[in-house]
Chain A
Amino acid sequence: MIELYLFLVFMIVAAIIATEIKDLLAAVISLGAVGFSVAIMFILVQAPDLAIVQIVVEVLTVVIFVAVILRSTHIDETVGKKIAGTQITAVVLFSVFAFLFLFAMFKAIQELPAFGNATMRIAKEYIRLGLTQVGGANMVANVILDYRALDTLGEATVLFTSVIGVVALMRKSGRKK
């Protein structure tokens, strides 16, 4: 439990570094540190399926980011500029709404079951009947591809849509010079 909090503090520090540092390559590396911490946290709470996906996706994202940065600029020119009057208003408004949100979240969290003691009304049935009803040894696969397969179809559609979006934005042929 304590190691989860350690990783949480590390992630917050790395995320702040990623937004505030001037060198974009260093920012991408600290973003990668955040992602790999998430992967380690998944392993610590015994979710290896998510950890595998997180590690591989994180490697790919960092590689793509580094490839883009190596071919463009290294310096983030927005860091360290003087703060204008409108920005101060924005920061104040953001602080007020963030405080309200955190207060509401704190109230909501009190109602939730304690960490690691979920009520699991449906999940208990999945775990009890999954092996006999579906036959897969990996319970995650049983849930996402049998009990909740329609959700997975929607997820596949989301990926399809995002690929179409990227390819349409980045295409070479048919754009006006």
Chain B
Amino acid sequence: MKGMSLIVKSITNVVIGFIFIYGIYIILHGHLTPGGGFAGGVILAGAFILRIIAFGADAKGEDRSSLTASVFESVGGLLFLGVALAGMAITGIFFLNFLPKGVPLALSSAGIIPICNIAIGIKVSAGLFSIFLAIAAVKSGIED
């Protein structure tokens, strides 16, 4: 996939960090404010896709990103399942919220929910990004 003009590249350089931080904020505050793992993960995937659309990538780079994305997709899924199985190992109930609940409205509260949000965020961002890469890569494969 080819990159776009200098204007798009400069603006992308400025805003991409803010988009990334906003996505991470939405994931980490998922148990306090509207949002959560899915919404934040989609925002992170949007940042990755913006990067690829603006700057472009050759076939080699797309393959490398695709591999990384699939690894992170699996890591996210396994982390989510691992939290569920940890609840089963410690208390005997699948998906039981076994961590201490903490003070309501504090960032580190609500037991396993922040960990689950992080896992889902990793999984969703990597999954959507690899869907985009698959569509972009098959097109550039035809052009080669």
Contacts and interface: CB of A to CB of B under 8 A. Distances in A.
Contact residues of A: prevailing secondary structure: helix
Interface string A127-148: 0000100111110111011100
A135 B128 CA distance: 30
A153 B102 contact: no
Contact of B53 (A48, A67, A157, A172): A67
A123 interface: no
A31 B30 CA distance: 29
B115 to A, nearest CB: 9
B120 A135 contact: no
A59 B49 CA distance: 11
B137 interface: yes
Interface string B55-84: 000000000001000100100010011001
Contacts of B42: 53, 56-57, 60
A63 interface: yes
Interface stretch (A22-30, A82-90, A97-105, A159-167): A159-167
A53 B38 contact: yes
Interface in A20-79: 48-49, 51-53, 56-57, 59-60, 63-64, 67-68, 71
A19 interface: no
A73 to B, nearest CB: 13
A20 to B, nearest CB: 26
Contact of A52 (B35, B132, B139): B35
A171 interface: yes
B77 A49 contact: no
Contacts of A167: 66, 70, 130-131, 134
A16 interface: no
Contact of A48 (B34, B94, B95, B111): B34
B132 A134 contact: no
Nearest to A172: B141
Interface in B98-144: 101-102, 104-105, 109-113, 116-117, 120, 123-124, 127-128, 130-132, 134-139, 141
Contacts of A146: 95, 97, 110-113
A170 interface: yes
Given A68-B139, A157-B77, A163-B73, 6 more contacts: A49-B39, A56-B46, A60-B46, A150-B94, A150-B95, A162-B131
7 contacts: A57-B42, A64-B135, A142-B31, A150-B94, A163-B131, A166-B135, A170-B135
